[in-house]
Amino acid sequence: MSGAGGGAGTLITLAPTGAESAKADVPALPVTVDEVVATARDCAALGASVVHLHVRDVDARPTLDLPRVREVVAAVRESTDLVVQLSTGGAVTDPADARLAVLDAEPDAASLSLGTVLFGRDVFPNPWDLVVELHTQMQQRGIVPEYEVFDLGHLATLTRLLDRYGPPAGGHVHVDLVMGVPGGMPGTTATLAACLPALPPGATFAATGVGRTSLPVMLAALSAGGHLRVGMEDTLSYAPGDPVRDNAQLVARAAGLARIAQRPPLSTAAARQLLGIPAGPRDPADDPPRPPRVPVEAAP
């Protein structure tokens, strides 16, 4: 296998909110700034070292409004030492320029989706030009990408991207295999195993199992030396007929499984070292000058 797992520990990423579920339908979903901060703090204590943030507005609707995004980033940093990773995916209807603009909130890391995929009845557009623009903007800003893979072909896109545009900020390639999305690759052990030979040499990977695939994907990832992403963005049932109580419940289960696998949760400092993120919040003053952003068309 070309992909490395990560040695003696497991990086656990918390994805607490997402852009799909409504607060009215899922009362435990953290949507206010205070709720997100409390969730981040609780989950850091249980073993999470990265928080993957989607932001909601004051009416609990998904938003890419930059002042609101900056407010949430600052609040999480003030209360925790977690690696702050912003979603550049947003909601499936968000335009490309708004998705790129969240990088102005200066996170430690950001997601980078590697291809267009069906999300149930919707289309999540990630055309090549947007992929390239996200990759190069993150390089220039010193923001470390997490490459989101929804299907096996997206790993071929990643190889082409790295060959043409060079390594990411931080120098290390970290991939998240997002499995079980209706329209993407299934959340099975066989599918996860099929992805591993296509990882770039030296890359690490995490896996996310959406919905009922959460537990089998976690077990498969741990058995292959991979890392974990869990949270109410991806999973709203703890077991059949048993709704998730809160994000801490999901992180506690992931941390317990990681310990059973004899790869306990990584500290935030160890996670930063693994991902190539400097210790402490990044200083944008250290970034090289950036060329003006070129508008990107969002059509597939």
Phi and psi at residue 124, in whole multiples of 5°? -100, 100
Radius of gyration, CA atoms only, the chain: 17
Range list of β-strands (E), the chain: 12-14, 50-53, 55-56, 62-63, 83-86, 109-113, 117-119, 122-124, 144-149, 174-179, 204-209, 227-230, 237-239, 242-243
pLDDT for residue 1: 34
> Whose CA is closest to 19, among 120, 92, 108?
92
- Tens digit of each residue's pLDDT (9 = 90 or more) over 217-257: 999 999 999 999 999 999 999 999 999 999 999 999 999 99
Domain ranges of the chain: 12-274
User: pTM to 2 decimals?
Assistant: 0.91
Q: Which residues pair with 204 in a beta bridge?
A: 174
8 pLDDT tier (thresholds 50, 70, 90): confident
> Within 13 Å, how many C-alpha atoms sit on residue 79's CB side?
20
Report d(CA 115, CA 153) in Å as an integer: 8
| Mean pLDDT value across residues 62-70 | 96
Q: Which CATH class is domain 12-274?
A: alpha beta
- Tens digit of each residue's pLDDT (9 = 90 or more) over 247-295: 999 999 999 999 999 999 999 999 999 999 988 655 555 544 444 554 5
